[in-house]
Amino acid sequence: MGRSPCCDESGLKKGPWTPEEDQKLVEHIQQHGHGSWRALPKLAGLNRCGKSCRLRWTNYLRPDIKRGKFSQEEEQTILHLHSILGNKWSAIATHLPGRTDNEIKNFWNTHLKKKLIQMGFDPMTHQPRTDLVSTLPYLLALANMTELMDHQTWDEQQTAMSNLQAEAVHLAKLQCLHYLLQSSNSSININNNNNSSYDQNAIITNMEQQEPLSLLNTISNVKQNTIIDHAATFSSSQPLHHQSMILPHDNFLDPQQVSFSSQSCLNNEQGQNGTITNYAMISQREEDYPIIDHQTSWINVPSSAPLSIPTNAITGDASSCTSSYGGAPSAAPYWSELFFEDPIMHDLS
DNA sequence: AACCTTGTCAACCGCTCAAGT
DNA sequence: AACTTGAGCGGTTGACAAGGT
Q: Which residue is nearest to nucleotide B8 (CA to C1')?
A: A110
Q: Determine whether the distance from the CB of A99 to the nearest atom of strand B is below 7 Å.
A: no
Model confidence, pTM: 0.50
Average pLDDT over residues A75-92: 88
What residues approach strand C to within 7 A at the CB? A 1-3, 6, 35-39, 50-51, 54, 58, 87-91, 101-102, 105-106, 109
Q: Residue A177: which of A84, A268, A247 has the closest Cα?
A: A247
User: What is the pLDDT of chain A when averaged over all its residues?
Assistant: 53
Residues 189-228 of A with CB under 7 A from strand B: none
C-alpha separations of A10 from A6, A17, A48, A171, A291 in Å: 10, 18, 10, 62, 52
Average pLDDT over residues A5-33: 80
Can you name the residues that pair with A169 across neighbouring β-strands? none
Q: pLDDT value at position A104?
A: 92
The 10s digit of each residue's pLDDT in A300-323 is 222 222 222 222 222 223 222 222
**CA to C1' distance (Å), from A266 to B5:** 29
**CA to C1' distance (Å), from A208 to B3:** 42
Q: Determine whether the distance from the CB of A170 to the nearest atom of strand B is below 7 Å.
A: no
Is the CA virtual torsion A300, A306, A311, A314 positive or negative? positive
The H helix count followed by the E strand count for chain A is 15, 4
Residue A47 has pLDDT above 60, yes or no: yes
Residues of chain A with CATH 1.10.10.60: 12-61, 72-118
- Bases of strand C lying below 7 A from some protein CB: 3-12
Residue A253 has pLDDT above 80, yes or no: no
Residue A277 has pLDDT above 50, yes or no: no
* Fold entry, domain A12-61: Arc Repressor Mutant, subunit A (1.10.10)
Q: Report d(CA A154, CA A149) in Å as an integer.
A: 10
**What's the start-to-end Cα distance of chain A, in Å?**
62
CATH architecture of the domain covering A72-118:
Orthogonal Bundle (1.10)
Q: Residue A243: which of A182, A297, A183 has the closest Cα?
A: A182
